[in-house]
Structure 1
Amino acid sequence: MARHLHAVALVVPDYDVALDFFVGQLGFVLREDLRLSDEKRWVVIAPDADCVSNILLAKAKGGRQEAAVGDQFGGRVGLFLHTDAFDAEYDRMVALGVQFEETPRVEDYGKVAVWRDPFGNRWDLLQLTATRDR
């Protein structure tokens, strides 16, 4: 039996604003956009077409969810965007206006830099060392 993580939900204030950033600006792939009701959609994106894991964009509803936008991980980095070409991806993202909190640094596990999406979520852009990239 094969298993993998299909998706992680990311609470956003608006589906279309999130799609403009992730798909329109960063170049993520839109996998699904199904209208479930007047207010709810099933919106699934992925960093690229070959990626197995996805992000489900979930529109915040109500005060508790709205308060969680941008702080789903309690201020920690909670999302990790892996690349096999760190320097090129970092330069591309900077040119697109992505807000990085730091310059790239090298850690025991690889090269990394923290960035924020427009909603305030903290991400790592990282390239793992060959021994850790599994």
Structure 2
Amino acid sequence: MRLAYSAYLVREYDEAIAWFVSALDWKVVEDTDLGGGKRWVRVGARDGGELLLARATSPEQTAAIGKEAGGRVAFFVHTRDFDRDYARMLAAGVTFAETPRNEVYGRVVVFADLYGNRWDLIEARAVAPDNGEI
């Protein structure tokens, strides 16, 4: 088994699609009309990983938008070029909660999506091969 995608609560499909495409440079993987205003919309990073956009349809669901992890970082995106993606995201108007920092696992910065959910942008630290060579 593998996790295929996760549901991500949105107010409206098109505003969420626009944000993911503009801010994260993601693509629309699928956008199928299911009738009655419901759509099956999947967005994803160009190197893999997807979210299923789920439009809130009740007051309880609407109240949960932007609270995916109760204020903690909910999502983690990895990059191979931190400086490029950080600069592109700044130019796209993404809100960052801090300046980039170095951690034992790599370079990281916390940012907020269009609803206030917190994400990490991470460039993982290069790990030496485990073959006895230095």
Scaled by the length of structure 1, the TM-score of the pair is: 0.90
SS in 2 for 1:126: strand
Letter paired with 2:107: K
Q: Which residue does 2:73 correspond to in 1?
A: 77
Q: Which residue does 1:102 correspond to in 2?
A: 98
Q: Which residue does 1:63 correspond to in 2?
A: 59
Alpha-carbon distance between aligned partners in 2 of 1:69 and 1:83, rounded to the nearest angstrom: 26
Residue in structure 1 matching 2:15, options 9, 14, 17: 17
Identical pairs, percent:
45
Scaled by the length of structure 2, the TM-score of the pair is: 0.90
* Structure 2 unaligned spans of 5+: 129-134
Alpha-carbon distance between aligned partners in 1 of 2:2 and 2:127, rounded to the nearest angstrom: 21
**Following superposition, which runs of at least 4 residues in structure 1 exceed 3 angstroms of deviation?**
none
Residue in structure 2 matching 1:54, options 50, 54, 57: 50
Alpha-carbon distance between aligned partners in 2 of 1:24 and 1:80, rounded to the nearest angstrom: 18
Count of aligned positions: 128
Task: Give, in angstroms, the shift of residue 24 of structure 1.
Answer: 3.8
* Structure 1 unaligned spans of 5+: none
